[in-house]
Structure 1
């Protein structure tokens, strides 16, 4: 067990990628094994903030007080067995991808930040661009090894429903109270997931470090496809791009079946032109699509089907880009990931603080949502860029206020939240709630529901030691 008490040694653990002010902690505890962590928890009575790789955007790992438990030494990774893989929480997405190369298997969730730890992605139910077809982290969790704040542990498997008690390794059990809250029926990473009869796994994934410490996970993998067909489609108007997305969703078939649909509005394209000079001047919006092709013989039929399909959907085909090989695929992903990087550089240069949304709704409100977003943002008078997972109705809006516009930007953000919630949507579809979006989460579920959700936490963490300040 490593322990750090020197303030300079603790300092790097007091922040994450959210740019929130650093927190405070008396010590960083770094266990070498799950068993060592268990023994420590049995005698600990201080508040615990769980620390992963620090790539989170909601200040979940920024401690209020107490100690930090860093999972950085829990980096064991197993071998693929029947399309599944056991890993410890400090393994990063980059580590996992490298480990799986050449095995014939891949792990579909692909958040932008490849240095994120698996533990962190479990805490937030992370997803990424391929969630449109492949789903989110929760969909790929088969087993969890967990420790509660008091050191009791359990191995939780699929089909272990919350209708049955959680059986802990000391022989004790925990039963969950039944509550009438239901999580939104759209892509969602806001707070505790709850549906009647769900598995215990579903509750622990996305719980933002407030219910347990995860020491190992068995992941479900997918067969590696022969290739990914991808392209960046440029459109003469934003409305035409929205219509194309609706058409693709309606017309999905064997050969038109994308795993990614990613949007770039005109404000995003304007910034991308700084690095990609061949972005056409006529383009007012763009759609990145990607489709997995499982076998070689299927590639040409899929490619031909896309060309034929796009000819009838008002795409600027002569100006659009289609991957001709692995280097192009890599370039297109770079194109997608450059938007937030360019915005961060711009904000740093101009000394301003961005406000980023992470909201989503169901398919029924898609067009209405897009029109509302644009109208509200244009009327708000604050610079912005909108991009992201349009296939899931999940757009990232980055408000970019001047120094004297912070109040105006907050008012715009609040208007967006109010409407999304009126449509039954979520305030966070992939980044979680943490500390920064807690007020919006409480607004989303309501005061009475927060009290009910608190009863879930109280059953698992009665002393309230884990993740103080997150969610509740």
Structure 2
């Protein structure tokens, strides 16, 4: 075994045995390759099985938590090989798997001397790695516009556990990483982001009104065909309470205004287009949301990417507040870990699905934070158990929703 590259797991590496789910694993060895050549040497060594590949350990599903065997962590394979502009609308970036989204955005800005080009997948956790985003299909808030299947890849270099390297240029959509395979390098498609963007956050004093409005907005098409819907998000009542409770502990909220005190739900819509078409679409959205009790006088209007980031930070805080809650409960009882589920709609509307979830939670005397991508009914339910009994009840209910 290559002792320079492969280390026994001891107290120095405890943090690599869990992720944001608070699941705790175990492993015999851990490696931190800093190049594809080192990765090949590690894979060629007689590693204890199974092998767990890790990025930044920002996941909340436990996918990077080892269950014995060996860890290969990609945090040091974080080199950006090349960034080029191909045209006025497209470019590409060649990156190793451990490059973070923050790092990628900064290097695109530095290399192309503009903020205009992006890699479209947009998870709100900017410390996530490119390899992790690809492996998990984390398309993020802007899936409304950029889609949920296309991860904007030109080429992928994969390494199989038998040491075989494979280069994919015709990448299927949606892409699913084969078992026992890791991403070594990716050539990403960069797109020029819309030049003019704005957003509006609408607040509702009842969750049922917000959900009825969300149903209506699922079919909303702007009258002006020049308008693009970039994002459409729902944040429910308990999620809002969690954000408010955790505000001082979540750094990304420092520049985000306090939510209206009577807000029980938020619908956020992000659009792109010229100023006139944006104004027309915003008036249409105000008309629709007003029908369901949202007061346009307290709605937030955000113009430009700097302002838009505030709403993305708020959406990230919905997840971060759950992570912090579970971390506290895990310290009280280490059997409690994050429990989240994406319920199947089973032919029901967005409103019907979430109302049935809320009713089931009330009947069981349980609590959960709910938020969603509205357009594709991608609903995330995060249970908030007060104790292990609640956790067990939550698991039983979750199993009936999938």
> TM-score by structure 1 length?
0.71
Q: Determine the structure 2 residue equivalent to 1:454.
A: none
Select 1:16's aligned residue among 15, 19, 25: 19
Q: Any idea what SS the aligned residue of 1:109 has?
A: coil
Q: In structure 2, how many angstroms separate the alpha carbons of the residues matched to 1:220 and 1:340?
A: 27
Q: Determine the structure 1 residue equivalent to 2:372.
A: 388
**1:370 and 2:354 correspond:** yes
Query: Relative contact order, CA 8 A, sep 6+: which one is greater?
Result: 1
Q: Determine the structure 2 residue equivalent to 1:84.
A: 92
Q: Determine the structure 2 residue equivalent to 1:257.
A: 228
Select 1:412's aligned residue among 391, 397, 400: 397
Q: CA shift at 1:223, angstroms? A: 0.8
CA 1:23–1:395: 2 relative to 1, 3 Å: same
Q: In structure 1, how many angstroms separate the alpha carbons of the residues matched to 2:310 and 2:381?
A: 23
Backbone CA RMSD of aligned residues: 2.7
Q: Determine the structure 2 residue equivalent to 1:37.
A: 39
1:208-240: CA deviations, max 9, x gaps? xx2312111111121122232112101233233
Q: Determine the structure 2 residue equivalent to 1:323.
A: 302
Q: In structure 2, how many angstroms separate the alpha carbons of the residues matched to 1:134 and 1:23?
A: 38
User: Does structure 2 retain, via aligned residues, the 8 Å contact 1:131–1:259?
Assistant: yes
User: Does structure 2 retain, via aligned residues, the 8 Å contact 1:39–1:151?
Assistant: no
Q: Determine the structure 1 residue equivalent to 2:166.
A: 154
Q: Determine the structure 2 residue equivalent to 1:116.
A: 128
Taking the TM superposition and a 5 Å limit, the aligned residue runs for 1:68-467 are: 68-77=71-80, 78-82=82-86, 83-101=91-109, 102=114, 104-136=116-148, 138-158=150-170, 199=172, 202-205=174-177, 207=178, 210-253=179-222, 254=225, 256-274=227-245, 275=247, 278-293=258-273, 298-314=274-290, 315-348=294-327, 351=332, 353=336, 354-359=338-343, 361=345, 365-403=349-387, 404-417=389-402
Q: CA shift at 1:110, angstroms? A: 1.1
Gaps of 5+ in 2: 248-255
User: Does structure 1 retain, via aligned residues, the 8 Å contact 2:159–2:182?
Assistant: yes
Q: Any idea what SS the aligned residue of 2:83 has?
A: coil
Select 1:28's aligned residue among 27, 30, 35: 30
Q: In structure 2, how many angstroms separate the alpha carbons of the residues matched to 1:124 and 1:131?
A: 14
Q: Any idea what SS the aligned residue of 1:318 has?
A: coil
Q: Any idea what SS the aligned residue of 2:107 has?
A: helix
CA 1:3–1:243: 2 relative to 1, 3 Å: same
User: Does structure 2 retain, via aligned residues, the 8 Å contact 1:30–1:70?
Assistant: yes
Which is richer in strand?
Answer: 2
> TM-score by structure 2 length?
0.82
User: Does structure 2 retain, via aligned residues, the 8 Å contact 1:84–1:218?
Assistant: yes
1:74-111: CA deviations, max 9, x gaps? 22211124222211101001111112221631111111
1:273-320: CA deviations, max 9, x gaps? 454785334433210111234xxxx12321332124422442321111
* Higher deviation after alignment, 276-285 or 27-36: 276-285
Q: In structure 2, how many angstroms separate the alpha carbons of the residues matched to 1:122 and 1:234?
A: 33
1:408-438: CA deviations, max 9, x gaps? 2222222323xxxxxxxxxxxxxxxxxxxxx
Q: Determine the structure 2 residue equivalent to 1:439.
A: none
Q: How many residues are treated as equivalent by the alignment? A: 369
Q: Any idea what SS the aligned residue of 2:145 has?
A: helix
CA 1:100–1:137: 2 relative to 1, 3 Å: farther
Gaps of 5+ in 1: 160-198, 418-472
* Higher deviation after alignment, 326-335 or 211-220: 326-335
Q: CA shift at 1:59, angstroms? A: 2.1
Q: Any idea what SS the aligned residue of 1:317 has?
A: coil
CA 1:142–1:136: 2 relative to 1, 3 Å: farther
User: Does structure 1 retain, via aligned residues, the 8 Å contact 2:26–2:66?
Assistant: yes
User: Does structure 2 retain, via aligned residues, the 8 Å contact 1:236–1:316?
Assistant: no
Select 1:53's aligned residue among 53, 56, 72: 56
Q: In structure 2, how many angstroms separate the alpha carbons of the residues matched to 1:42 and 1:67?
A: 13
Q: CA shift at 1:347, angstroms? A: 4.6
Q: In structure 2, how many angstroms separate the alpha carbons of the residues matched to 1:63 and 1:329?
A: 37
